[in-house]
Structure 1
Amino acid sequence: MLSSRLPKDLSPSPFFAELERAKASAKKDAAEGGLPFVDMTVSSPVRAGLPIDMDVAVEEARKDFGCWNPDAAGWKSAREAVVEYYRERGGNFTAGQIILTASTSEAYSVLFKTFCDPGDVILTPMPGYPLLDTLAQLEHLECAPYFLKLQREKKKGVILEPKAIESMAPIAKLQGDRKKETSFRFVLDTDSLLAAPEKAKILLLVSPHNPTGHCVSREEWNAAVRFCEENDMILVVDEVFGDYGFSPEVRRSWEYLMGSGRESLWDAGGGDFVNLPEDGPKCPIFWLNGLSKAVGSPQLKLGWMAFYAPRERFEEIRAALEFVEDAYLSVSAPAQALGTALLKQSAAYESRVKERLLQNWQALREAFPSKYCPEVLGGWYAVIRLGEDDEELTLRLLKEKHVLVQPGFFFDFDEDGWVVISLLQEPAQFKEAIARMSFLYITRG
């Protein structure tokens, strides 16, 4: 009776059922005076004490809440606000290159409908966020992996200046001489792209990557573009965490193509000028983002895609995207009005969140050497390898230490022992949770 798009079994797995029971028990024990419960999976800035100030935006936008001005691409005023968001960061998109959606997830759906037929294949990163597989499955598409691999590098110096972490004295004996520490980070295994099935239509990059914190380098970008050109594929970059890079070596991937100095305006018709470098790639490229991370407001349901296409294909592609969007018109008037106002605050909001992320990342690296906690170049998450079975480790941390983490298998790590944590948690709670996890680490070795 149900669609074949859905999994055959929608009930929670035995592990996640057990995890929910353990979480309820930990919270109950904490409420009764036991060890406090710390959620290291928190992904909402609002829940982490980092809300954006809505009052000014609401007052500015209120007059447009009742407007009904249907536009398949989204209100031009809202698209121009997105253009200004990029301009503040060195980008050169124009309003004609912006398509608004109700979320990044919906942007994926629009792209899948526009470029794929049932049975086609999307190339997604492994490890990676499991929602991508679900979104593809709901469109009768398949996912095939390419891989991020852990690479050992010579230490070039710690990105963040180390500070002493109070209440973590037992960890000090594990630190040794950090100047001699080898650095580990995840990198794109470009050779793994060569195993792509013939029906592959879209290569999906996530930068910064959830959960490893990998950011696409210029060399990796060039390899991905070349691969898409040679195989007549679409390149999609999920950059919802794009504002939160930690290192001066991190670049937004559109800078490799359309940053300052590469402006090349082209009349797409009727005086609609778009920035399409004449010597640009031969494959269409889409960058996905939204208010969810840019201003910490997933509840407003506003995302967008900014895109590049070769000049000879641009109008055809834009018309196809607008055809799909016009069938739903799912972006509400309040969302577009608030988005226009809130994006003016995005730079200040980014600074607040990044300060929190950097503080927590520094605490994490002081507690765990790079061998166990690879370098994070950007994003809201970090991974730690403690070398036990993922399920047992996650449940043990929750039951014994009242710390909730995500198991690595949920993200398709190819080895046991990985856990994923959020860097958004309030710093005092974050330090406390890391201290508890570190005691577990100390007892192992």
Structure 2
Amino acid sequence: MLSSRLPKDLSPSPFFAELERAKAEVFAECAVTDGRVGNAGGLPFIDMTVSSPVKAGLPIDLDAAVDEGRESFGCWNPDAAGWKSAREAVVEYYRERGGNFTAGQILLTASTSEAYSVLFKTFCDPGDVILTPMPGYPLLDTLAQLEHLECAPYFLKLQREKKKKIPALVRLRSPQVAGMTSGADFRFILDTDSLLAAPEKAKILLLVSPHNPTGHCVSREEWNAAVLFCEENDMILVVDEVFGDYGFSPEVRRSWEYVFGGKRDSRLGSATLTTGRGDDCGRESLWDAGGGDFVNLPEDGPKCPIFWLNGLSKAVGSPQLKLGWMAFYAPRERFEEFRAALEFVEDAYLSVSAPAQALGTALLPAAAAYESRVKERLLQNWQTLREAFPSKYCPEVLGGWYAVVRLGEDDEELTLRLLREKHVLVQPGFFFDFDEDGWVVISLLQEPVQFKEAIGRIREEDPHLGGHAH
């Protein structure tokens, strides 16, 4: 009687069943205080899979936002795209980062996952195909399956890069970043040729930048290839940039910069893009969609629709507030058609709550300061990790909350052994569809002292890795 959208077998796989048993064994060996696993005379448990800043001791202060938004909690002003005030807060979020959207290009959702669902419902028919990155986050396959869609992979591949010289001014002002970007000589890149194997029924190309879990960020060359591919195959381009504010290197770009133009200070990587207010960008990019509703659609822009997904989950470390959004571009002749279709789908659910929109409006102005706190920890932990392992086994991370390490053995057995013997929990690479065995995925969010301790335990597991070749 169950829907064919669901997997035929909903029970955990043998590996994850074994992992849960191993976790129970470890928890039984450790003391539990205030809900946290501690130490009962042995090694304390360290979770290197933590994905929530709230659980990693990096919550944002909600008190002021609650006080500011409380009066709106009881309001009900249904708008398929979301409250204009909340959409304008999103516009300002982009503007502070050099972005150039208008409120007419923003649609609110209850989460990034729901944004995917809206896009799948709007642009796909059952049996259509979504192109997703491999390795990649397994949730994407599940979201597609729940809409009667299929996923087909394109690939990220590991490439050796020449070491880059970091400009002197960057080294002076950002010595931590300079040290990281100058040392790594392996990184993941987009295998653009693998796009050519796309099935005929492919409708959406999904990019994740920064990528979970490899830390890859889309370069201009990769972007141009992806856009051209979508234009030639009449496809939608979707960019998941929930980690977009957490770039590690001056060379990292937000992909909307490639569409809307602008300049950056090459010495510091700081955005100096135009604001869309009629200054040096010129008003030719602003297009009247009707009734004085101006949207930023460059006349010579890409010929395919593009959607950028983000939300409060990462921007202010608050997944519990359940507020995401889509910012989108489309050719002028089809913009209104697409916006009407998207709002039709969203109007059927109206799932974004009044408190979420009110809190989002109040919290987004604090996003930059919050992201600075989180990035400081991410950079510190990444520095610890790259000092522990040569780059051949720990490829360069350009952004995001995760890193990958190849330890050269069966990742399922290694994950279980690290948990049972070292009390360190990591994620096995097979969960992310790595095409080689031996990869593990590590969160960079953990508290730095615990992170350093966990990395030390992992190195003890195979001592010859921390700087010597096999």
Which TM class, normalised by the smaller chain length? over 0.9
1:225 equivalent among 224, 227, 231:
227
CA distance in 1, matches of 2:112, 2:151: 18
Amino acid at match of 1:11: S
Q: Which residue of structure 1 lines up, in the alignment, with residue 269 of structure 2?
A: none
Shift of 1:25: 1.3
- 1:332 is aligned with what amino acid? S
Residues 23-80 of structure 1 show CA distances to partners (whole Å, capped at 9, x for unaligned) of: 1211221223211000000000000000000010000000000000000000000000
Specify the alignment match of 2:437 in structure 1: 416
Of 129, 132, 135, the match for 2:137: 129
Q: Partners in 2 of 1:179 and 1:190 — Cα distance? A: 24
Residues 125-162 of structure 1: CA distance to partner in whole angstroms, max 9, x if unpaired? 00000000000000000000000000011122589857
> Could you tell me how far apart the structure 2 residues matched to 1:27 and 1:368 are?
29
Structure 2 CA distance for partners of 1:357 and 1:181, relative to 1, 3 Å? closer
Q: In structure 1, what is the equivalent of residue 22 of structure 2? A: 22
Q: For residues 26 and 184 of structure 1, what CA distance do their matches in structure 2 show?
A: 35
Taking the TM superposition and a 5 Å limit, the aligned residue runs for 1:257-296 are 257-259=259-261, 260-261=273-274, 264-296=285-317
2:407 to 377, 386, 405: 386
Q: Which residue of 2 aligns with 1:204?
A: 206
Structure-to-structure mapping, 1:309-388, within 5 angstroms = 309-388=330-409
Amino acid at match of 2:113: S
- Residue identity opposite 2:95 in structure 1: R
What residue number does 1:297 align with?
A: 318
Q: Is the 8 A contact 1:152 1:182 kept in 2?
A: no
Partner letter of residue 213 of structure 2? P
> The residue matched to 2:246 in structure 1 has which SS?
coil
- Distance in 2, matches of 1:127 and 1:156, equals 26
1: distance between equivalents of 2:21 and 2:160?
A: 39
Measured at CA, do residues 154 and 292 of structure 1 come closer, stay the same or move farther in structure 2, by a change above 3 Å? same
Aligned-partner Cα distance in 2 for 1:145–1:420? 20
TM superposition shift of 1:179: 12
Q: Distance in 2 between matches of 1:297 and 1:371?
A: 34
Q: Which amino acid aligns with 1:412?
A: D
> Using the alignment, how far apart are the partners of 2:293 and 2:184 within structure 1?
52
Mapped to 2, the partners of 1:389 and 1:226 lie a distance apart of 39
TM-score by length of 2: 0.90
CA contact (8 A) 1:148 1:189 kept: yes
Per the alignment, residue 268 of structure 2 pairs with none
Question: The residue matched to 2:435 in structure 1 has which SS?
Answer: coil
CA distance in 2, matches of 1:179, 1:301: 34
Are 2:125 and 1:117 aligned? yes
Rounded to whole Å, the distance in 2 between the matches of 1:314 and 1:415 is: 42
- The 8 Å contact of residues 137 and 432 in structure 2, kept in 1 or not, is answered as yes
Letter in 1 for 2:156: L
C-alpha deviations, 1:106-134, integer Å up to 9, x for none? 00000000000000000000000000000
- Report if the CA contact (8 A) 1:149-1:186 is conserved: yes
Matched, 1:87 2:95: yes
The structure 1 segments of at least 4 consecutive aligned residues displaced by more than 3 Å after TM superposition are 157-163, 178-182
Q: CA separation in 1, counterparts of 2:230 and 2:181?
A: 40
Q: Is the 8 A contact 2:403 2:443 kept in 1?
A: yes
The superposition leaves residues 195-227 of structure 1 with CA deviations (integer Å, 9 ceiling, x where unpaired) of 000000000000000000000000000000000
Tell me, what secondary structure is at the counterpart of 1:139? coil
Report the equivalent of 1:47.
Answer: 55
Check whether the contact 1:162–1:366 (CA below 8 A) recurs between aligned residues.
no
Distance across 1 between alignment mates of 2:45 and 2:196: 45
Q: 1 CA distance for matches of 2:363 and 2:351?
A: 19
Q: Give 1:441 deviation, angstroms.
A: 2.4
1:186 maps to 2:188: yes
Partner SS, residue 117 of structure 1: coil
Question: What's the counterpart of residue 171 of structure 1?
Answer: none
**Structure 1 CA distance for aligned equivalents of residues 70 and 162 of structure 2:** 54
Corresponding residue to 1:407 among 414, 428, 435: 428
Q: Report the 3-state secondary structure (helix = DSSP H, G, I; strand = E; otherwise coil) of the residue aligned with 2:417.
A: helix
Q: Separation in 2 of the partners of 1:341 and 1:182?
A: 39
Kindly provide the amino acid, as one letter, of the partner of residue 364 in structure 2: L
Residues 181 and 249 of structure 2 are in contact (CA less than 8 Å); yes or no, is this contact kept in structure 1?
no
SS of residue in 2 equivalent to 1:147: strand
Partner Cα distance (1:257, 1:211) in 2: 25
Partner of residue 36, structure 2: none
Deviation, structure 1 residue 239: 0.1
Match of 1:174 in 2: none
DSSP-derived class of the 1:154 partner: coil
State the distance in 1 between where 2:83 and 2:332 align. 24
Q: 1:230 to 1:38 in 2, by over 3 A?
A: same
Contact 1:394 1:405 in 2 (8 A): yes
* Cα deviations by residue, 1:316-365 (Å, 9 ceiling, x for unpaired): 00000000000000000000000000001000001000000000000000
Assess if the C-alpha contact under 8 Å between 1:38 and 1:403 holds in 2.
yes
Q: Which residue of 2 aligns with 1:98?
A: 106
In structure 1, the residue matched to 2:277 is none
The letter for the 2-side match of 1:190 is T
Q: Secondary structure at the match of 1:105?
A: helix
Q: Distance in 2 between matches of 1:230 and 1:267?
A: 27
Counterparts of residues 245-256 of structure 1 (less than 5 Å): 245-256=247-258
Distance in 2 separating the partners of 1:97 and 1:154: 39
